[in-house]
Amino acid sequence: MKKILFIVFLTFVGFIFSCKNTNSSESTQQKESNSSEGESTENTTNPSTQEKAPTILYAWVDKLRIREQPTTKSEIVEEVKEGTSFTYLNEKTDYKERINLRGTLFNEPWLKIKTEDGKEGWVYGGAVKFYEPVVDANPSPYDACFELKKDGTWAKFNACSEKVRAKQLKNDARYVLENEKEIILTLLTGKKVIFENETASLESDEFLQRDYLQYLPQVGFFVFRNHIYEGGSYSLINNKSGKEIIIQGFPKLSPDAKHLIATNQDLEAAFEFNGIQIFGFPNGRFEKLLEIEMDEMEPHAPIWIDNMTIEITMMPPSFDKETKPKKVKIIMNEKGEWEIKE
């Protein structure tokens, strides 16, 4: 009887240990499985194993040349317009090069990039930015000059303007002939109109000098700058009738040529209009739609973002050292009226 009880006891103890080992094995397998799953989750979310987002660069000058090698003497891969984007390939030259862009001297390296259609090449670092620029939908040949004026570099502004003027006179030679005494315009009708450069007395209001600036065939106007002693204005000359319209600032057309903005800056000398004018053709006739004269800030470098939106840089006069520049927008509302949004 004792033997039987002893055998039963051994059997019971063996059964208990067997169950314990089985649970331990299952537990171990479960832990290993959970651990394996945890490692898999960590690997998929570990930032160090993820690909970094590509760096996008944007051209901020028009007709930017992408070259095969990092030098201005290398073959051109492609020429792109302002605002074009491409991917930076994280390669740049160890050396820097001095290049003048829009009147500003840069000292930057060359950067290797890839275009959207897969072409690789090099661009000059001073010609690109790491953010998307506001691109002018209808740039003027004088834009780079007015950027210099905005920055207060008058000597460079004058030199830039004369260089662009010379090019415009050459391009429009069949319409305009300018000399020290007069400007002779040939209208579309074939008629010639002469505008004299007067040397008037101080009591006279006659113009001292006229400068031909450009031709705007989209709206049928030749553009003059009129210097009247310390002050001045601008003239739009109709290309068919020769009729002259005086405006207060340099004119810049909208992309669809339905509107024109004129801006001028003169808070320091106070000889000229300081503000904004907008013109249009609401009834088929050229009319002034908005005029704002400003007494605290100067409006510079208007950019047509689209046909209904203009961005302007508002600059304080040079004697104001505390006020900071700011960007404002002039927007056409649903009623077709122009209004400033700050």
Taking only the tens place, the pLDDT of each residue in 258-316 is 999 999 998 887 788 999 999 999 988 999 999 999 999 999 999 999 999 999 999 99
Percent of the chain with pLDDT over 90: 62
pLDDT higher than 80, residue 237: yes
pLDDT of 125 strictly over 90: yes
Query: Which region, left, alpha or beta, applies to residue 152 given φ > 0 means left and ψ of -120 to 50 means alpha?
Result: left
Q: Which two tokens stand for residue 244?
A: 């002259």
DSSP element (H, E) containing 245: strand 244-247
- The whole-number average pLDDT for the span 107-133 is 92
**Does residue 201 surpass a pLDDT of 70?**
no
Q: Is the pLDDT of residue 22 over 50?
A: no
To the nearest whole number, what is the mean pLDDT of the chain?
Answer: 84
Domains of the chain (ranges, CATH numbers):
55-129 (2.30.30.40), 143-341 (no CATH)
DSSP state of 249: S
DSSP letter for each residue of 135-178? PPSS--TTHHHHHHHHTT-HHHHHHHHHHHHHHHHHHTTTTEEE
Task: Give the span between the Cα atoms of 162 and 177, in whole angstroms.
Answer: 16
Torsion angle of the four alpha carbons 243, 253, 171, 265, in this order, in degrees rounded to the nearest 10: 80
CA distance 262 to 268: 19
Residue 268, pLDDT score: 82
Contact, 268 vs 317, CB < 8 A? yes
Determine contact, residues 301/312, Cβ cutoff 8 Å.
yes
246 is written with which tokens?
């005086």
Instruction: Provide the pLDDT for residue 227.
Output: 86
Rounded distance between C-alpha atoms, residue 195 and residue 291, angstroms:
27
Q: What is the distance between the alpha carbons of residues 242 and 238, in angstroms, rounded to a whole number?
A: 5
What local confidence, expressed as pLDDT, does residue 232 receive? 86
* Contact present, 287 and 315 (Cβ < 8 Å): no
Question: DSSP 3-state assignment of 204?
Answer: coil
Positive or negative: CA dihedral 152, 154, 158, 163: negative
Mean pLDDT on 138-149? 93
- The structure tokens listed for 144 are 């780079």
**pLDDT in the model for residue 206:** 58
In terms of DSSP bridges, do strands 244-247 and 104-108 run parallel, antiparallel, or are they unpaired?
unpaired
CA distances for 1 relative to 6, 8, 14, angstroms: 9, 11, 20
Query: Which of 29-33, 121-125, 180-184, 269-273 shows the highest mean pLDDT?
Result: 121-125
**pTM across the whole model:** 0.69
Distance CA 88, CA 198 (A): 56
Helix (H) or strand (E) holding 309: strand 309-315
pLDDT above 70 coverage of the chain, percent: 82
Beta strand 209-216 pairing with 221-228 = antiparallel
- Both tokens assigned to 193: 């109109």
DSSP-based three-state secondary structure for 301: strand
How are the residues of the chain apportioned to helix, strand and coil, as percentages rounded to the nearest 5? 20, 40, 40
* Cα 145 to Cα 178: distance, rounded to the nearest angstrom: 21
Q: CA Rg, the chain, in Å?
A: 35
Q: pLDDT, tens digit, for every residue of 47-84?
A: 444 566 789 999 988 889 999 999 999 999 999 988 89
Distance CA 301, CA 282 (A): 25
H or E segment to which residue 17 belongs = helix 2-45
